[in-house]
Structure 1
């Protein structure tokens, strides 16, 4: 098994000018890994992950990176092992970590929707509400949160035991499970029924409180947050460019979304203008034909890497 090791010396993690990186960031290993690398790429950062190393390369001399599982990320941020990291709010709550939440990053391995931690039983089970589980055994990876849930509900279960993965399979070996779901497909595939929801969670960028209190490190963290949020915002939008006869300009502007303020430039031919605007991707397919009918020509759309308000 590959062992997690610190860099052999200060030089190993030094930037190109010989100084140490300003920040060490934790990249989540596991289900969020690929989505995180893609997010950073769209934000302008290239992360290269070797299959044999826990220390990815990142093309910013002010940053060094290390990989941890999301479940333990908040503990390492709180302890100052790393300055900031990306993890789910659920694991911050589970670990009761004292960290600064910089911003929400609405992305995950499958969708942009929050994940849900649910209390579930087999479809054929006689359990229909949480109270029915009094005296029962619950299997989960979110063990502290689950214990607090039953305590708050004043339901005396026999045991909340830790599940080392494949929790859905154990639903028929114990009385119930608490498991995470994003789309619900795994629950349906295992013929499980949800009887309550413990919490919802989204991905967060978190910082060590001492790092956040340092002006130089805080500025770098805030800059990174702006770029990451801009990359997320761009996922649902496209840029549109089009040429419009001046005589049709009013009609075209009336069609464009009211909340947008398009850029309008004169063309060499004074009878024409060029318009550029950012719109939601979901309305583009309806918008383009309408713009064409209103007199616009040379319409083309393009993907966006970042949209920063």
Structure 2
């Protein structure tokens, strides 16, 4: 059985769409299940429905053979997994943002983010000393209440920034979802995983050629 860690949320529907297009007979309403583990016996697959930030952890520790994770999660978590395929879904990017015309408020610049490793690396490369404030949600609130001078966060359409009166200062990294594999599973289940990669690759190429 191939165990797949799938992120609940916005990536999920696009990932299921890809699997269905690749000919896998799986329930299209998988995400609506209250179960966290769903077996699909006819495909000899098991799906673990996880929080996006946990997918690479499950794959690294071998409780899932493969997983679908955003590049942002991979950059932040730095897990020991193989990235085998860019799925070209859930496109967005990481960016630095803040209030328009705002200046850094002190010698040590304050940055709010749920990506402390990525943010630290970004400012270190710029030679800027920053204090990273880790938040788990509503990152846009930080500059509005004076908690931070800047934020580093995912931007999809830019609508959330605009609605909160924030502007984007710099794009940091493009983000798409990737197929990741546990190194041991890749040795033990290589033919099954290679077939999955091949089938998904054909779907991705068809989609790109149709554009």
1:221 is aligned, of 193, 196, 202, to: 193
How far apart, in 1, do the equivalents of 2:134 and 2:206 lie? 39
Q: 2:18 aligns with which of 33, 39, 49?
A: 39
Where does residue 122 of structure 1 map in the other structure? 99
Of the two structures, which has the highest relative contact order with CA contacts closer than 8 Å and spacing of 6 or more?
2
C-alpha deviation, 1:134, in angstroms: 4.7
Over the residues paired in the alignment, what is the CA RMSD in angstroms? Answer: 2.1
TM-score after normalising by structure 1: 0.61
| Structure 2: segments with no counterpart, 5+ residues | none
Q: Is the 8 A contact 2:11 2:177 kept in 1?
A: no
In the aligned structure 1, how far is the partner of 2:199 from the partner of 2:107? 48
Evaluate the alpha carbon distance shift between residue 134 and residue 218 of structure 1 in structure 2; reply closer, same or farther with a 3 A threshold: farther
Tell whether the 8 Å contact from 2:103 to 2:149 is kept in structure 1 after alignment: no
Match 1:206 to one of 172, 177, 180: 180
Contact 1:137 1:175 in 2 (8 A): yes
Aligned to 1:186: 160
Aligned positions of 1:56-205 closer than 5 A: 56-58=38-40, 60-108=42-90, 114-126=91-103, 134-157=107-130, 159-173=131-145, 174-205=148-179
Which structure would you say has the larger Rg?
1
The count of residues paired between Structure 1 and Structure 2 equals 206
Describe the SS at the equivalent of 2:174: strand
What is the CA–CA distance in structure 2 between the aligned matches of 1:27 and 1:58, rounded to whole Å? 14
Q: CA deviation at 1:123?
A: 1.6
Using the size of structure 2 for normalisation, the TM-score is 0.87
